[in-house]
Structure 1
Amino acid sequence: MLTLRGVRKSYTLGSDTIHALRGIDLDIARGEIAAITGPSGSGKSTLLNLCGLLDSADAGEVRYDGATVAAGNEQERTALRRQTIGFVFQSFNLVPVMSAHDNVDFPLYLLGIAASERQRRVAAALEAVGLAAFGQHRPDQLSGGQRQRVAIARAIVKHPRLVIADEPSANLDAVTAAQIVALMQRLAHEHGTTFLIATHDERLLPHCDRALNLDDGVLAGGSYAH
């Protein structure tokens, strides 16, 4: 579903060059739940941004569903990202003046989906994350865990082929985290949704298909949870 070959990414910080990724080779299968672990500053967010087509590599190749994504073709990356990738950001990135319902609805609105179908999908997504009764609440009326669940609902509402999640359980209690893991597993197994997760949460790892470690821009061979 997603293939990276020899991917490198560097940033300039003042007079220093930060080598965030140092030649990443990675294959993620359709319907796989893969976790990326590693210390802060190891390059996890950079890797997620490249896999989610939010950024392009300095060198190497990214293939999405078998087709190479051209580094310089922002229009192609934007179309793929909007139509087929869902994101769960660590900082939520919810629109503060919109209700939970409208935040989840917004990606569908951008895709031009009919209002009746949008209403059905939004209701189903909020129900799936346990927030059916909170659709009209704005983000500032929700707890951190509830806002994280709104972000997860927004990520899955367009039925994406790939979900990129940065610390999706960071603000969730154990019970809610278990519910979100069960939801990811169901989407992966029933619909072939692929999940790529950056996490420090040891609770998630046994429920992932594979856990890989990223350290100083180098990706170590992953272990399979089952």
Structure 2
Amino acid sequence: MSLRGISKSFTLGGNTIHALRDVELAVVRGEIAAVTGPSGSGKSTLLNLCGLLDRADKGELLYGGEPLPAADDVRRTQLRRQTIGFVFQSFNLVPVMNAYDNVEFPLYLLGVDAAERRRRVHEALERVGLGGLEEHRPDQLSGGQRQRVAIARAIVKRPQLVIADEPTANLDAVTAAQIVSLMRELAHQQGTTFLVATHDDRMLGHCDRALRLADGVLVEGARHVH
């Protein structure tokens, strides 16, 4: 995925806010890239654009080396559903669904058969340490457990790209380490790319590189070697 000269502005209270200014970014398969920056720096806007949840005012977005027109709603929806997983800071779990059903839902939308859905859901929940809690609804789970359901839901369809907003913020040290290890495993074994907004040093130390946003301008930081 690549961004070329991406800019995005909003109007708030009669004022124009430049959330992103001429952003250039390329992430490669199997990379874990962290995006840091203060509140209001444009991190969420950048994640939403990369996840095809929003459109830029200016610039070009490329997926698989091919430009993706902003007006191509069908292609954008197809890519988002098939190739992108999301971990939202607010979890975005369906309250009336239990953990199993929340994780299964993306596979159901993709038309995966029932036996394969069952196998993948149990595997994803085991990988995030939630085996045995399949029947629990979100209101029966702690914040950390809900976060792990959200992570399982993001990885269950084996996406090419995972967009994650503070994925370890609600986790204790042991669970955070397990999730970071899982991300590295998926990046290495399946070539999953992770674009992560985070302030968590536990996460930053295991990313391949850090990117910093300040006033909508993206600056690349140091690369890490693992």
- The answer as to 2:214 corresponding to 1:220 is no
Runs of 4+ in 1 over 4 A off after TM superposition: none
Aligned to 2:88: 89
Percent identity (aligned): 72
CA distance in 1 between partners of 2:21 and 2:157 (Å): 33
Q: CA deviation at 1:121?
A: 0.3
Q: Deviations over 1:69-113 (max 9, x none)?
A: 111112211110000000000000000000000000000000111
CA distance in 2 between partners of 1:12 and 1:45 (Å): 16
- The answer as to 2:55 corresponding to 1:56 is yes
CA distance in 1 between partners of 2:157 and 2:168 (Å): 21
Q: TM-score, normalised by structure 2?
A: 0.99
The one-letter code of the counterpart of 2:180 is V
SS of alignment partner, residue 12 of structure 1: strand
- The answer as to 2:32 corresponding to 1:16 is no
Q: Deviations over 1:120-149 (max 9, x none)?
A: 000000000000110000000000000000
SS of alignment partner, residue 22 of structure 2: strand
CA distance in 1 between partners of 2:26 and 2:11 (Å): 28
Aligned to 1:140: 139
Contact 1:205–1:225 at 8 Å: present in 2 too? Answer: no
The one-letter code of the counterpart of 2:73 is E
Contact 1:125–1:153 at 8 Å: present in 2 too? Answer: yes
Q: CA deviation at 1:14?
A: 2.4
Aligned to 1:201: 200
- The answer as to 2:149 corresponding to 1:150 is yes
Aligned to 2:163: 164
Q: CA deviation at 1:222?
A: 2.4
Q: Out of 142-151 and 202-211, give the one that drifted further.
A: 202-211
Q: CA deviation at 1:118?
A: 0.2
Contact 1:212–1:219 at 8 Å: present in 2 too? Answer: yes
**How big is the alpha-carbon RMSD for the aligned residues of Structure 1 and Structure 2?**
0.6
Q: CA deviation at 1:202?
A: 1.2
User: Which segments of 5 or more consecutive residues in structure 1 lack a partner in the other structure?
Assistant: none
Q: Deviations over 1:166-195 (max 9, x none)?
A: 000110011000000000000000010000
- The answer as to 2:22 corresponding to 1:30 is no
The one-letter code of the counterpart of 1:175 is V
Q: How many residues align?
A: 225
CA distance in 2 between partners of 1:225 and 1:216 (Å): 25
Aligned to 2:98: 99
CA distance in 2 between partners of 1:88 and 1:50 (Å): 15
CA distance in 2 between partners of 1:211 and 1:6 (Å): 19
SS of alignment partner, residue 149 of structure 1: helix
Q: CA deviation at 1:203?
A: 1.3
The one-letter code of the counterpart of 1:39 is P
Q: TM-score, normalised by structure 1?
A: 0.99
SS of alignment partner, residue 10 of structure 1: strand
Aligned to 2:68: 69
